[in-house]
Structure formats: C-alpha cells, structure tokens
Chain A
Amino acid sequence: MNTTFSLAWRLFKHEARRGELTIILFAIVLSVAAVLSLSLFSERLQAALTDRTAQFLAADRTLYSDDPIDPAWLSKAEAMGLAHAHQVSTRSMAFGEQQMSLTDLRAVNLDYPLKGAVKVAPEPFATASETSELPQIGEAWIDSRLFQLLDVRLGDSIEIGDANFSVARVLGEIPDAGFSVFATDPIVLIRQEDVEATNVIGPGSRVNFKYYFAGDSSALNAYYDWLEPQLDDEIHNWRSVEDDDSPIGRSVGRAEQYFLLASLLAIILAAVSIAVAAQRYSQRHYDPVAIMKTLGASRQMVQRIYLLQITFITLLGIVIGAALGVAIQQVVVWAIADQVDVSMDMWHWRPLIIAVFTGTVCAVLFSLYPLLKLFTVPPLRVLRRDLGAGLSSRMIQFLAAGSAIFLLMWAYSQNLKISAILFVSGIVLVASLLVVTHGLIALGRKLGQGRMGPWQLAWARIRRRALDNSVQLISFSVTIMLLLVVLVMRNDMIKQWRDQLPEGTPNYFLINITETQKPQLQQHFAKNDVESDKFYPVVRGRFVAINDERIRTNVTKEDEEDSNEGRQGLGREANLTWSLELQDQNVVVEGEWLTAWQPGQPYPVSVEKEAAQRMDIKLGDVLTFNIGSEVVSTTVTSLRDVNWQTMQPNFFFVLHPEAMKAFSPTYITSFHLAEERKPEITALMQPFASVTLFDVDARINQLRDVVEQVSMAVEFILVLVLAAGSLVLIAQVQASMDERQQELAILRTLGAKGTLIRLSVIYEFLIVGIVAGLMAALTNELSLYLLQSQVFQMNGSLHPEYWLIAPAVGAVIVGVLGALGCWRLLKLNTSQLLRQMV
C-alpha cells in the first residue's frame, strides 16, 4: 500500500509539474469554479433582490390579522431574535374645512418600517425623498392627492373620526403601499398612539392589524414553524417575500429561476468537460498501465494507483477551483457594485458545498468509465502498440453519465421540471446526433471518394472517427446548445421586462372625470401638448350575487391587501367598465368576446380569469350587480387572461355598452409627463379640481429600478456562463487535437504537404462545428419552448435567426480553434511529432 501511494503520488507530482494533468485538472477546476461562482453570485444576488423585495413589504414577513394578536406572539418573536413592528389600518373619512374624502388610514408604531423607507415630499406631487422620521403624536402625513381632495395645505388641520391632526408632511410613499393605482384611497399615516382618540376602531368597522417581522431567514422560518399551528385561516394571513405576486416579485422570481437554470447549465458543462478530459486522460495512460502490468504490477495495484491519482487530481482541482470561483465571483460583485447592491458580508456555505460536491461527483462518475477501461489495458500493449482497452459498452457510459447528470441537476435545483426539461432536450440532442453522425458517414463515403484533396481527407477522417468521437461531437453540441439556451432565454426575458415598461409608460392616472369634463380635458391636454391615453368609462357597482347565491361582502378578505391593481374592490365594490373593444394585453381564453352578443339575449359580461377562478365563476353564470339603486344581471360569456404586469387600467368585469346605457359613468385615463415637465402638473390640473390625480412615477421607477438591476444580474450570469462554455470548447478542441497528433505525424512522414494537412483539419473542424451548431440550435428550440412555457410562464417563440447563426458561429469558433491547434502541431517537425507519439 505504501509503495502504491508513493508511486501514485510521484506520478501525480511529475504529471502536474509537467503540465500533463492540465486538461483534466482544468476541467475539474472549471466545473468547481463555474458552479461555485455562479451559485455564490446568484445566492448573493438573490439575497440582495429578496432584500429589495422586502422593501415593498416593509418587512421580511408580515402577518395580517382581523383581530389584535396575542402579545405573547410578539414576545416570542423578540425572543427568537426577530425585529417587529405593527400597523393598524382601516378606511376612514377625513374632513378638511369644506371637503371630505375616504382615506386609507394607517397607524404605525415607531419601529415601522422594518425594511425600506418612508418618503416625504416638500409639497404635493413633488419628488419625494427618504426620511427616517415618522409622524409625531397628533400629526398626520397625507398623500398628495388628499391635499387636493380636502383642499388643505401643510400646517392645516384635518379631522379623522373624533380626533384632529395637523398636516405635517406630504407623504410621498410608504414601502408597503402596494402597486395598486386605482380604487385605493389616499393614504394617511399617523402614529398608533393616536388611534384610540379617533374612535374609528370599534364594533362594525373593518380594521386590519398588520404585524411586520424581519430577521435572518432561519429565525423567520423557525418562528413561523412555531406560529403556524396557532394561526386561524379565517383570521390570519402570513406572507413572505416569496409570496410576492407583484410585477416586482414576478420579475425577481423569474430572475431567480434563470440563475438556477444557469447554474444547472454550468453543472452540465462541467460534467461534459470532465467526461471529455477523463477520456483523454485515460487514453494517455494506456502505456504506463501496460508497462506497470508488464513489470508485474497486479490489477489491484494498478487500480489503487489510479484511484489515488484521480483523488489527488480531484482534490487539487477542487482547491484551485474553489479559490478561483470565489475570486471570479468577487470580481463580478465589485464590477457591478454600482448597479446592484450586493452585500458581501454574508458568506454562503451552500454554494461551496454544492461546488465541491459537484466537482467530486463529476470527477468520480465521469472518470469511472474511462478508468475502468484503463484498467483493462493488456500488458501485451508493450509489444503490440495498437492494442487498446478491452471494455467498450458505450451505452453503459451514456446511461451512467446521463443519470449522473440528471441526479446532480435534480439534487441541486430540487426542481424536477427544469431538470427534466434540460435532460430530455439533452437526450433528444444526443439521439439525433447519433442519427446525424450515421448520415454523415454515409454522406462522407460519397463525398470522400476521388482524389485525396483536403476535403476528401477531412471527410475520410470524420467518417473513420465519427462514432469513436461521437463523444466529442456531442460535447460540442451540448456546449453550444447550453450557451444558446442561456443567451436566448436572457434575450427573451429582458425584452419582456422592457416591454412591460416602455418609454412613455403613463406615470399619472386620472379618475373621476365626468362626462362633461371629458372633452374639456382632452382639449386642454392637446393644447398643453400632453398626450392622454384612452378614456375608460367606469361605474362603481356592488357585486351581489352569482346565479342565486348571494355573496358575502368580504369574500376576498385577503385581497384587500393584494397588490394587483384592480383586484381591490372585488369584495365590496367593483369598477365596472364597458367596451366593445378588447383591451391591449387582454386575451379571451374561454367563450366569446362581447361583440358576439345579439339583441334580445341576456347582457353579457367578460370576467378576468383568475378572479373567476377564485370566486368559482363559470361561463354561463349569471352575475348580479347593484349600481346605485338599479340591479343589473349579466351572463358570463367570456373569461379573459389579463397581463397585470402592465401599467394600464385593468378590469375584472367588462360589460356590454348596451347594458350600461342608463348609467352616467366617470372616466379613467392616464398620461405620460416627462420628468422635466413634472413641475407643470399642478397648473395643468388646476381647471379640473374635482378630478383625482394619481402619481405613479415612484412606483414605475421602483419597478424600473428592480428590472434594471435584475437585468444587469442576468447579464452577468450570462457572461459567466458564456465564459465557462467557451473555455470548455477550447479544452475540447485541444483534447481532440492531441488525438490527431499521431495521424498528422504519419501524414507528414508520408510526405503530405503542410497546407493539405492544415486545410483538411480546418475543414474537418468546420464540418463538426456546423453540425454541432445546427443541432444545438434545433434542440435549443425544444428546451426553450419547454422552459418558457412550463417554468418561466412566458410565451414560447421560435428563434429562426439562430438556426443560421449557431452553425455559422459554431463553424467559425470550432474551425479557428482547430486551425490554431493544428498550426501548433504543424510547427513541430516530424521527428518531434514521432517522438511525442511513443
């Protein structure tokens, strides 16, 4: 054993020093470094993004409750190291001198907010900035709108319930205001100590108690585990950052999925490169094994020596890879520090464990087969140089490699869907490649005939080695395919994000425009060069029954706080609109649009799909609304899919204009005002005092900000994966170059001209590159379609441009790399080549 160890160690030492381990070491280093840097980076990013999202909750977790909770729950949270804050909110009337308005009253304690910040503006509708202060006792900070609605100024006093408050600041923004731009009442922020005096909280009033918690996630999870059994579904609702269904939450969620995907791809890349390198490593050791066996080494001894060697290599690879991975990740974090606020103070162990695990598993599993093969090399090889290894059941190799990759992906992502999609695409790719190689062989037989030109030589070589080196072709294709997946996915994703908020997205909304004001407003805007959007007629209606079943007014209690715009009011009052035109970004998914209605039939209504699902509304159901004193019955004729991520008014219920003829609506519209024109807003709206103005710039900017950061992060991940992939490609070409060495030497000794050889090698690589690129582009479509439709909730689309780009780029890259490698070989003279052969 001692001899074995020292022999193994000596071989390892010399080979490492002489650079003979470069390729396999490189593969392991690459896999560990790529997996580590990617997952470390994405873990950090996720932490940063989660933190960002937490700012929209004002906490990491929140607990909504209809009643005040047991104070013991809060002490427990404190004991577990969590920070907490609370808020009591209700809808209440506020009174100015003359005017009154319904408000969203929020009374908070001094610890609010745990995440994010309250913003105040120097005057209504001006740009808000962060403050660390909160209202003093007796003060109210009120929304810009409310200044308009109540006709008050800073320093005036307003009345809420039985109490008087002095209007101390313009409330620009609170973190958990929600993304809703309609049907929300202007917010009034006061201190919790003042609530009692108002007397607005009493029997019959709808009050929400909200508790905020922040801390590290393990403590939060532990707390929830403790709390959960005591919660009552009817009364309590626990929310975490991950439940965030707002546009921001979705963007971040999608980005996280992308990071996961990228890390998985890194794992596959790593596996592929290790497989290639291990095969080559094994081939290079046929001679030493034959020599050792000839000199009397037992099979067991040879096995031990090489298992030890692989262990040494793996260990070294892991150490270097880990160091490199941390370094890369650090550099990337520094590079984007300006754009994305990624905290460096937390060290994440999971990525390191994953990386080491991946490196080990890949090294072991993918070198296992080549090693087993190596062990079977007969001693007779010392005399008969053409003797290779005995073992050859490629099927087993593919099976073992495939299941290893699949298990790794699954274990890592814990997402069966993504793993399965990537795996299936991989299988399809490999299978079609095998078919294609056979086709190529047949084709090559035809083309390869005739005079021995470079093309003939190239085809002949491909034909001869096609099956032998199908591993190589597969690894090229898989690498290119993976690169395409991350690239195209990123393009599609970022495009969708950008489309969501194009330049000129409306940043102001107007509601309560009367029929008579509508033309005046349009004129006024035209004169002032402001372009307004469509005017949507709106009538408030109380949704009272589905078929004969009366509905509780608070069916959707939780939705009260839901952040999807338009969803509020579903409980008590709904905004009803009517139009024969289907709105942008709306798609009828069931039934027929309103235009199919014929006079004489019951009035039709189109319902938003998710709302319908929640309230169990089916096509053909009769929905009854109370509008004023009238009762309107409508039959559901269509369900719509609505893109909630757009900043446009969206409605749950769209009715037929015919049904609403009797009602006089108010109108909603939106418009965009460029940043530099913001000061004009007060003057612009001056003539329309009764029209309510919403400034959603802050929300849009927040959303844009997050989208920018997330895009940036995605961009960097893409670069990392591309870099890793290119390195793998280089390693692959390098490895296959070495295999050609012998052949080149023989051609050279036979007197073949340098140009002939060089051209033939370049052509060979070109052909391989084209085939690999094309196959990669085609299978890319499959995996993208599956990923986008099944995982990313995007509409899949074809990308025909890549069907040309990928083969072209594949051919160029693989061809150039091949030419470079070949040039290096041809620089050596024949005797050097021959010397290297033996």
Chain B
Amino acid sequence: MIKTKNITKRVTTSEGELQILQPISFDVKAGESVAIVGASGSGKSTLLSLLAGLDQVSDGEIFLDGAGLHDMDEEQRARLRGDKVGFIFQSFMLVQSLTALENIMLPAEIAGMDNPQKRAQDILDMVGLAHRGQHYPNQLSGGEQQRVAIARAFITNPQILFADEPTGNLDAKNSEKIEDLLFKLNQESNTTLVLVTHDNELAQRCQRQLQMHAGELTEITENATDTMHKQAV
C-alpha cells in the first residue's frame, strides 16, 4: 500500500539547513497497522505528513497505492487524499463552525459522494453520537470530538488512515475508548493504518512498531523485519 525509497526531509531555517529526516525506506502492506513511536521532536509527524501527501519530500520516492506522491503537485495530492486517505489528529481538527454531522459529511461532500448526510448519520450512530449531530465542536468533550473526527475519517471508506497522536489530548479513560473505536472500525473496514504515538501501549496494539529517533527510523517488531530495509547512513 505504501512504498518509500530513501525519502528525506530538509528545511531551511534562519540557522541554516536542517535535515529533519534521514533517508528512510520502508513498505506498508494493505490492511496492515503500523505504529511509529519516538520522542517528541524526533520527526514522526514530519514522516506522517510526507506519507499522507500533506508535504513534499526533499529526496526519494513515495508510492501510495501505486501512485507516485513525489511526482505530484499539491492539486493532484489533494485529489489523492480525498480519494484514498483518512486523517485523525491530536487536536481533532474539526471545523468549528460546522456541526458534528456536517464535519463528518465534509469529506464525502468534497469527494462528491451522494447522500452525504445519510452516510454521516449512519456513521455517527456507529461512533455512538447519534444524538449529538447538531452540536458544534466546542459543545462536545475532547473524547466526543475525537469520535467525530474518527467518523469523519471513515466516511469515505479510505484505503489508508493516518493518525497523529490520536489520544494525545485525552485522559486515560477517553483514550481507551478512542483506541477501541479506532481499531474496531479499522478491522471492520480493513483499512491500512499508520499511527503516530508516544504511547507504547497504543503502539502495541498495532501489528508493527517503528521507532523514530532523531530523524532515523528503525523497525522494532521482531516478526516483520523482512519488510524493513535498514539504511546505512
């Protein structure tokens, strides 16, 4: 589902050029769930943004379901994201001036699917917020907002789901609920999942764990070493 070849990310700052990611190569199979763990600032989100086509690689190649992200412009990547990708963020990223239901409808509408409202209502039921559809994000608790975000991520039946610290802003109890929901939906729809977290317990629930350390990625799951081509630096 995802293939990366020697992708790197450099940015220019006022202090000069900064290499955030060392060359990284790895693959993710369809239906697989992968956790990327690592200290804050190690480059996890940066990697995620490249994999999801939110940002452009400095070098290297990324294929998402066969499409070469590194060759695409922002418009093409947007289309691809709309078609195949779902997102969940630490800070939920709901549109504050749309209701929960409308937030869920949003990707379906953008993708031009029919009956977005019906779909959204169904999925809202699934995440257990059927009666909160008309509420605005700021009328919902953090956990509820993230559930809305999860519903929004799944409405387009994405082939791959990216989650950046989905429980980072939540307390333990809510975190667990969210995790359960996420994995449940993931299994039901057989979506590929790439999840960034610094919560080891959450990482353990994924089939594979990758460790990010100062821009370098290492595989830490024993059973899947074969998919990881470690890169000599």
Contacts and interface: CB of A to CB of B under 8 A. Distances in A.
A383 B78 contact: no
Contacts of B49: 380, 383-384
Interface in B23-57: 45, 48-49, 54-55
A383 B111 contact: no
A446 interface: no
A18 interface: yes
Interface stretch (A291-299, A554-562, A569-577, A647-655): A291-299
A417 interface: no
Nearest to B76: A298
Contacts of A290: 93
Contacts of A627: none
A287 B96 CA distance: 9
Contacts of A295: 81-82, 87, 106-107, 110, 152
A297 B110 contact: yes
Place the interface of chain A in its size category: 20 to 34
Contact of A292 (B45, B106, B136): B106
Interface stretch (A9-17, A221-229, A689-697): A9-17
A683 interface: no
A18 B136 contact: yes
Interface in B63-119: 74-75, 78-83, 85, 87, 89, 91-99, 102, 106-107, 109-112
A679 interface: no
Given A15-B97, A380-B49, A384-B45, A298 B79 contact: yes
Among the interface residues B55, B95, B138, which one has the most CB atoms of the partner chain A within 10 A? B95
Nearest to A832: B138
A614 interface: no
Contacts of B92: 838
Contacts of B45: 383-384
Contacts of A836: 138
Contacts of A3: 109-110, 112
Nearest to A296: B82
Given A3-B112, A298-B75, A383-B54, A288 B82 contact: no
B98 A14 contact: yes
Given A295-B81, A297-B110, A838 B98 contact: no
A291 B93 contact: yes
B97 A382 contact: no
B98 A293 contact: no
Interface in A273-299: 287-288, 290-299
Interface residues of B, number: 36
A296 B97 contact: no
Contacts of A293: 78
Contacts of B138: 835-836
B89 A14 contact: no
B216 interface: no
B98 A296 contact: no
Contact of B89 (A11, A296, A383): A383
Contacts of A294: 54, 81, 87, 93
A132 B111 CA distance: 80
A11 B81 contact: no
B111 A296 contact: yes
A385 B91 CA distance: 10
Contacts of B54: 294, 378-380, 382-383
Nearest to A6: B109
Contacts of B91: 385, 838
Contacts of B93: 287, 290-291, 294, 382
B164 interface: yes
A292 B87 CA distance: 12
Given A380-B54, A383-B45, A11 B107 contact: no
Contacts of B102: 10, 14
Contact of A296 (B78, B96, B152): B78
B97 A18 contact: yes
Nearest to B99: A14
Given A3-B109, A10-B102, A292-B106, A383 B48 contact: yes
B95 A291 contact: yes
Contacts of A297: 78, 82, 110
A6 B116 CA distance: 12
Contacts of A291: 93-95, 106
A295 B84 CA distance: 10
B80 to A, nearest CB: 8
Nearest to A16: B97
Interface string A1-39: 001001100110011001010000000000000000000
A380 B138 CA distance: 23
A384 B49 CA distance: 9
B107 A296 contact: yes
Nearest to B44: A383
A828 B18 CA distance: 39
B95 A288 contact: yes
Contacts of B75: 298-299
Among the interface residues A291, A292, A295, A380, which one has the most CB atoms of the partner chain B within 10 A? A295
A-B CB proximity, top 3 nearest: A296-B82, A295-B107, A14-B97
25 contacts: A10-B102, A14-B97, A14-B98, A14-B136, A18-B97, A20-B97, A287-B96, A290-B93, A291-B94, A291-B106, A292-B106, A294-B54, A294-B87, A295-B87, A295-B106, A296-B79, A296-B83, A296-B85, A296-B107, A296-B110, A299-B75, A382-B87, A382-B93, A383-B48, A838-B91
Given A11-B97, A287-B93, A838-B92, 11 more contacts: A18-B97, A287-B95, A288-B95, A294-B81, A296-B79, A296-B110, A297-B78, A298-B75, A378-B54, A379-B54, A379-B74
